[in-house]
């Protein structure tokens, strides 16, 4: 047998064996992985909503049960009314109700930083203007620089910031270059957080895409505010 044919046969058999083994491993582990991903998503929603602190170490079952008992997943359309059968254009959100009224709600966002999409949740109070928390669960920014965007020191700054002027105009939360206390006038500081040093572009991306996301939910926010007033 010529050496070329031998090589082909060897390569073919090897591919079959390796392919089979990897398929078995991937399929066998899939349920465990899917559960981990679900728990991770719910954990991040709970963190944004301020129910779970970043220092809490909860078991998977604990996360699942707390989530099921407190959070309701809904879809709204651009005008802010509830959609039963969601389509692609509808907006997902996660709400906590107290009685019938919405006490706080989390919305998913994604922002393009320097290298990657940064995925996370931002949660707002029922007044649709105060941030109750933020979490980031996926990104590929530079560790130590833009990678700081998933660290508690950065995310916790968003708590109690305002996304809306007293007159109702949406301004979102800005990420400044440097420290807020050094750069922003004291009556505007409620709308800004400190940036990450060495990661200006990550900060700019988060600021820009956070505003875009919040704008999409303005229909819901004004409906919510109207409901609260009446």
Partner 1 sequence: MKISKTAAYKTFTAPLVSANPIAVAVLGICSALAVTTQVLPSIVMMLAMTFVLASSNVVISLLRNYIPKNIRIIVELVVIASLVILADQLLKAFLYDVSKQLSVFVSLIVTNCIIMGRAEAFALGNGPWLSFWDGLGNGLGYGYILVVVSAFRELLGAGTLLGFQIVPDAAYAAGYVDMGLMVLAPGVFITIGLLVWLQNKWTGR
Question: Among 116, 136, 128, which residue's Cα sits nearest to residue 225?
Answer: 128
Length of the chain: 230
Closest distance of CB 57 from partner 1, Å = 9
H runs (alpha helix) in the chain: 3-48, 60-70, 152-155, 180-183, 200-216, 218-229
Closest distance of CB 31 from partner 1, Å = 9
Which residues have CB under 8 Å from 58's CB, separation 6+? 43, 52, 66
By CB under 8 A, residue 16 contacts partner 1: no
Give the DSSP letter of residue 164. B
Question: Among 162, 156, 83, which residue's Cα sits nearest to residue 128?
Answer: 162
- Looking at 8-16, 73-81, 117-125, 181-189, which segment touches partner 1 (CB under 8 A)? 8-16
Compute how many other C-beta atoms are within 10 angstroms of the C-beta atom of residue 38. Answer: 14
Q: Are 182 and 151 in contact (CB under 8 A)?
A: no
- Looking at 1-9, 157-165, 171-179, 218-226, which segment touches partner 1 (CB under 8 A)? 1-9
By CB under 8 A, residue 40 contacts partner 1: yes
Closest distance of CB 145 from partner 1, Å = 8
By CB under 8 A, residue 22 contacts partner 1: yes
- Residue closer to partner 1, measured from CB, 18 or 82: 18
- Residue closer to partner 1, measured from CB, 15 or 79: 15
What is the binding site for partner 1 (CB under 8 A)?
Answer: 3-4, 6-7, 10-11, 14-15, 18, 21-22, 25-26, 29, 32-33, 36-37, 39-40, 138, 140, 143-145
């Amino acid at each position: 047998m010529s050496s070329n044919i031998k090589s082909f046969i060897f390569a073919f058999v090897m591919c079959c064996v390796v392919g089979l083994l990897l398929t078995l491993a991937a399929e066998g582990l899939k349920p465990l992985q899917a559960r981990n991903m679900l728990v991770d998503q719910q954990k991040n929603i709970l963190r944004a909503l301020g129910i779970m602190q970043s220092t809490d170490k909860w078991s998977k079952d604990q996360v699942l049960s707390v989530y099921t008992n407190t959070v309701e997943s809904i879809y709204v359309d651009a005008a802010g009314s509830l959609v039963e059968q969601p389509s692609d254009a509808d907006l997902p959100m996660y709400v906590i109700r107290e009685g019938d009224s919405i006490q706080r709600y989390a919305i998913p966002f994604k922002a393009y930083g320097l290298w990657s999409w940064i995925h996370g949740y931002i949660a707002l109070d029922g007044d649709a203007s105060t941030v109750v928390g933020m979490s980031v669960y996926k990104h590929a920014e530079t560790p130590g620089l833009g990678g700081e965007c998933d660290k508690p020191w950065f995310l916790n700054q968003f708590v109690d910031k305002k996304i809306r002027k007293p007159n109702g105009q949406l301004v979102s939360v800005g990420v400044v270059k440097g420290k807020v206390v050094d750069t922003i006038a004291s009556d505007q500081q409620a709308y800004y957080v400190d940036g990450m040093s060495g990661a200006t572009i990550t900060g700019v991306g988060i600021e820009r895409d956070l505003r875009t996301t919040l704008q999409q939910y303005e229909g819901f926010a004004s409906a919510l505010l109207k409901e609260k007033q009446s």
